[in-house]
A and B are shown apart, each in its own frame.
Chain A
Amino acid sequence: MRRTVSHAIVILLLARPMLLRAQEIKLPPDVEKLSVKAKETVEVNMDGPMLRWASKFLSAEDPDEQKAAKLITNLKGLYVRSFEFDNPGAYTSAEVDQLRAQFSSPLWSRVVGVRSQREGDNVDVFFKLEDERMAGIVIIAAEAKELTVVNIVGPIDVDELADLGGEFGIPRLNPKTLPKSTMKSIAKAEKGNPK
């Protein structure tokens, strides 16, 4: 009996790091299913140390890159999945809804949801609060033949999110798709919460 208990403890101790890793969701599990339909799937993974190292290569003379460098210093990770499809309609809106549904827990809130009827482009931005602090942002950008999911893990000011657009494979976030008024109101709400 004692041996069984000690074996169980050893197994639990060995499994603990794996369990901890499993709790930290890098990207929604369903996102990988889309690669079966995609013509091309691109995955970019950058963990905290690599981001900090990469920040040194952002130009100190370019104000935008300087902002991005400052922003990524405290991040724990940045994960991008981009799917390119042969034809419009290769993936269904139900599949995107499934992805969005994974951010419906109380930890997550949807900040922006932009639907473009004419161009068929949809952008959703979800943010995660932990102990009343921003702990991460997920962007789902759906276009007719392309779908991009970005997960930014770590503290990030939501009103500075656009500064990361165009770096590390993150799509450029058009101010039209991230309405200033919405971003400002979120930023204000955040400042209202004591950090």
Chain B
Amino acid sequence: MKSLPAVAFVLVLCASTPASAGDHEFRGVVRSIESAYRVHHAHIPLLGVALFFARPAGVGGLKLAIFEGFKTPTDVVDVSRVIEGSLGSDWHPFVRVRSKGATNGETTLIYASPAGGRMRMMIVCLEPSEATVVELNLDDRAIKKWMKEPGEEAANQSGRRRRGD
């Protein structure tokens, strides 16, 4: 009976890990960034568990990779090229948010892959010394919110990251 919590724990881990079997696009983007900018994504213990509990409403299939010590190029178009080169033709550049801080700036690039009743999103957030890649699946309600105010949702997304929510 002791094995039940262990099984549940493994299931949670499998439900949202940084790179699972069917996510070649996510892994492709991570690898492209690694090879283009000679960085490695950080290994975060129990990331899957954290993502499972931290996911916002209407969002599933969260995958996350963090690149510490990433130096964002002056022209973020370079990064877009790297990302677009690794994503397939069913991914569309959807939203881009650029914000200027007092001491730093941040760019969020969002790509969308709509299919049937769901939408996958690849969110790449570039900060002066860190980059983050997130893949997620949106349900009906979340899609509606994004379609209503894509810019606002994207700005909230980057704002949420800045606030560390």
Contact = CB atoms under 8 A, between A and B. Distances in A.
> Do A and B originate from a single complex?
yes
Interface of A: 35, 38-47, 50, 53-54, 56-59, 80, 82, 166-169
Contact of B151 (A44, A53, A58, A59): A44
Nearest to B90: A49
Contact of B147 (A38, A42, A47, A168): A168
Contacts, number: 64
Interface of B: 92-100, 112, 114, 117, 140, 143-144, 147-152, 154-155
Q: Tell me which of A35, A41, A42, A46 has the highest count of chain B C-beta atoms within 10 A of its own C-beta.
A: A42
Contact of B99 (A39, A53, A59): A39
B92 A45 contact: yes
B72 to A, nearest CB: 15
A44 B143 CA distance: 15
Q: Tell me which of B92, B114, B144, B151 has the highest count of chain A C-beta atoms within 10 A of its own C-beta.
A: B151
- Closest 6 A/B residue pairs (Cβ): A42-B151, A43-B96, A53-B114, A41-B98, A40-B99, A169-B151
Given A50-B114, A57-B140, A80-B151, A45 B93 contact: yes
Contact of B154 (A42, A47, A50, A57): A42
A38 B152 contact: no
A166 B97 CA distance: 19
Nearest to B93: A45
Nearest to B144: A57
Contacts of A41: 96-99
Contacts of A167: 147-148
B151 A35 contact: no
A39 B150 CA distance: 18
Nearest to A59: B144
Given A166-B148, A168-B150, A169-B149, A42 B143 contact: no
Contacts of B147: 54, 57-58, 167-168
B89 to A, nearest CB: 11
A169 B100 contact: no
A168 B151 CA distance: 8
Contact of A43 (B92, B95, B143): B95
Given A38-B98, A45-B92, A54-B114, 12 more contacts: A38-B100, A43-B95, A43-B96, A44-B95, A46-B150, A47-B92, A50-B92, A50-B112, A50-B114, A54-B143, A167-B148, A168-B150
